[in-house]
Structure 1
């Protein structure tokens, strides 16, 4: 994914995204590098230029919390990006162990199956769909496969029609994978997927280089299903106890809304084959 270190790549990307006027520095003449110079970040952070250069080059592996806070302030990092910066400095022994398990617990599967009126699914760090209930599958029935949210956004032709705010969806899923990468920079699945998707989508490759970080949160989405039309939903994501690399994503519709009616139509469509099979018996 890169020839540098995870920490160095992150610092370089965020430094290059800033202009001198963003941090109150004068800008004189033509600059040979995009964004801020290393020396300027060092000045803003109150560290020596040599020390900051070692950070970007991966030759300084144990920066103090005080130094990281100063660098975060110099680079105008928000809370999530600052947390990401700190995680990139953790040693392997300090990181939670991820055995790479993709199996979803039977209890969680049963819980999701019981939500007949609520789409729910479980994703892994690379946004692979690990499991989903029947309504979630029906909701995404316009795609070639309900297999990976990022692939569906960037590669599947249905993505640009389904996600009515496509650019927002593209930025979000890229930043979510980047956040997961910070928890486990050596994840073989993330490395494999990022390499594959970067080859398939130039837009993803460009967004990935930006090193934006954002975990899943509670917010709204505007979707358009090929059969039931516009959907305005709220969603929430929850870390799964016992499997911190998994997240449960739940979509909700406002009661008595057009989206709630559409969900009911999708539910009927999802259960119709089972009813027909039962009748034939």
Structure 2
């Protein structure tokens, strides 16, 4: 499970801890949900990274941030990320990724080349 995880993400070590802390924050809304418990058990069995991070009990709620990914075909991509979550419905999230102008051009070029 861990082998390819994070291969295109800069600062993977820090990012994985943030992702697990966000997962824990979501879990906090539904601590008795059997689906969450099944996921946690599966991650504990299959992922060394998860086993190392989960016992830290970190919690993080983020609504926006700057994201960077690397794709070998077009290089580094940058996005502004916003998460919208109604306070009355913590189980609903809308995640919006807005590409930087340069990233949008390179993604457009990639899509155009694949249509041929």
TM-score scaled to structure 2, two decimals? 0.83
**Bigger relative contact order (CA 8 A; separation at least 6):** 2
Given the alignment, which residue of 74, 98, 102 partners 1:252? 98
**Structure 1 stretches of 4+ moved >3 Å:** 240-244, 266-270
Query: Per the alignment, in what secondary structure is the counterpart of residue 52 of structure 2?
Result: helix
Within a 5 Å distance, the mapping from 1:117-266 to structure 2 comes to: 155=2, 157=4, 159-239=5-85, 244-255=90-101, 258-266=102-110
Deviation at 1:215, TM superposition (A): 1.7
Q: How does 1:15-164 map to 2 (within 5 A)?
A: 155=2, 157=4, 159-164=5-10
RMSD, aligned α-carbons: 2.4
CA displacement at 1:177 relative to structure 2: 0.9
Native 8 Å contact 2:2 2:48 kept in 1: no
Question: Which whole-Å CA distance do the structure 2 matches of 1:198 and 1:219 have between them?
Answer: 27
Contact 2:2 2:49 in 1 (8 A): no
CA distance in 2, matches of 1:247, 1:266: 29
Q: Secondary structure in 1 aligned to 2:23?
A: helix
d(CA) in 1 for partners of 2:34 and 2:11? 30
What SS class does the counterpart of residue 246 from structure 1 fall into?
coil
Please report the TM-score for the alignment, with normalisation by the length of structure 1.
0.37
| 2: CA distance, partners of 1:267 / 1:237 | 26
Aligned residues: 116
Gaps of 5+ in 2: none
Higher alpha-carbon Rg? 1
Q: CA deviation at 1:156?
A: 5.2
**Higher strand fraction (1 or 2):** 2
